[in-house]
Structure 1
């Protein structure tokens, strides 16, 4: 008797029920979600590959700049040594000029030079003795 009940009987020619439509739509939604997850995974893998490539490129650029900086630093050190030699040479030339000037002055005025040297020695001796007390 249950077969004659209109609520449970379906004929093949009848339209699908709401439950059938729900199941169909949920199945289709599930398929779309699976595809979306697959595409998202592909996108993440692609982004990770691109990011990895960018990191490798950045690392190579950093290494290159550090190497160039080291070479520039070495070149600056070499130039610094040359500049120091130039300064020492200039100081030596000035020292020679002072010694030559002093020698010329001593030749021109030997008695005055002796007096100045004697007075300077006497003052230095006095200062040294006063520091001992």
Structure 2
């Protein structure tokens, strides 16, 4: 069975999608190929996101916001949008999910931590569907 590929998309690729990608990559342990992108990428990862991910031992400081490309969507089995609206191209045969999540931009650390924990729960549920053997190990 081929390795499932997941693309997380939000507007700036500086918060929600970066957290989701890091969490899924961590939990999946190589059983899922993970990407993230933004419809209008920021210049850097949100510092509050860096802080709350560091609390979990996940370093996102080397990540850079990336522009959403048609190729990234085409290569993915599952595309998860987080507030990017109609900016995400739609291709037949892809699974699309829209996760309604607050934007961490300008939020307190406590609020960003809550958003992170919500994303983590969703990521774990997704992983249980895509790669049950990886979810069982975590």
TM-score by length of 1: 0.20
Larger gyration radius, structure 1 or structure 2: 1
Higher percent of residues as helix:
1
More relative contact order in 1 or in 2 (CA 8 Å, sep 6+)?
2
Higher percent of residues as strand:
2
TM-score by length of 2: 0.19
